[in-house]
Amino acid sequence: MHLVYLDDSSDEELTIYSALAISDEQWQTCLRQVREFRRELKKTDGIYVQKEFHAWKFVSGRGQIADRVVPKGRRAQIFKETLELTSRLPGARLFNVVSPTSKKPTGFEWLLNRINRTMQAWGSRAILICDQGSENEFTRMVRKMRVYNPIPSKYGNWLDSGSSTKNIPIERIVEDPFFKDSAQSYFVQITDFCAYALLRRERPLASKSKYGLDKAFDLLKPILVLETNPQDSEGIIRIK
């Protein structure tokens, strides 16, 4: 079983979905490592252990996150340190989708299909844990795809039926998605950082690139699920 934490980051043109998969057997170990990281930040920077990390606010210098001022340069460094920590979490794997914001629902649909297919290959199942805000949309889509999920054949037609599409329900995703306030989940916050890192690489901003955030996503390469898109060197699912 895998717990799959899902969040998105977007602007007017692009939406990024990231999904961090953690094995149930490694979950406690991963949580301990994240907690220790946050405790260290309290010691070094005064950052409150329970303070929510929201990526764009964090790197923009917004919010009182500590008992002292944490400048943007240091925040950017911590942002990258968080990604480095994520890349070392035992057994953690990361799915990513890049979609035009106008096709945001399609991005989520494709992500679900890739998670389902990967869980089948891993001999596992997934429970989705999402940030709050899209409860109705996400739940409705998961329920629909569990019953009816037509997949087009990449060869034009499926050999067993001759049809151009085949119904492949997402049977490896268990139950409806669960929704958590991101302030109550370190892993949802980390996934938000992952999505924002990819957004800033795909859509760089000078104000963030000067701190190296346009290259921060490279730190996550060790945990990328490459098999989700063999045509992309990082396995990123790209929707045109």
pLDDT the model gives residue 167: 85
CA distance 75 to 225: 27
pLDDT the model gives residue 160: 66
How many other β-carbons are positioned within 10 Å of the β-carbon of residue 24? 13
pLDDT the model gives residue 155: 65
pLDDT the model gives residue 143: 96
Residue holding tokens 């717990």? 3
Mean pLDDT value of segment 17-39: 98
pLDDT the model gives residue 164: 76
Mean pLDDT value of segment 196-223: 98
CA distance 237 to 16: 10
CA distance 67 to 45: 8
Report yes or no: 41 and 227 within 8 Å, Cβ to Cβ.
Answer: no
CA distance 64 to 79: 16
Report yes or no: 145 and 169 within 8 Å, Cβ to Cβ.
Answer: yes
**Sorting pLDDT into bands at 50, 70 and 90, what band is 132?**
very high
Both tokens assigned to 190: 């980390």
Mean pLDDT of the chain: 95
pLDDT the model gives residue 161: 65
Both tokens assigned to 191: 């996934």
Residues 6 or more apart from 98 whose CB is under 8 A from it?
A: 14, 15, 16, 107, 198, 202, 236, 237, 238, 239
How far the first Cα of the chain sits from its last, in Å, is 32
CA distance 154 to 201: 29
Mean pLDDT value of segment 15-31: 98
Which pLDDT tens digit goes with each residue over 94-128?
A: 999 999 999 999 999 999 999 999 999 999 999 99
pLDDT the model gives residue 97: 98
Q: Which residues partner with 166 through β-bridges? A: 151
Which pLDDT tens digit goes with each residue over 149-184?
A: 888 877 667 766 667 788 889 999 999 999 999 999
Mean pLDDT value of segment 52-63: 95
pLDDT the model gives residue 159: 63
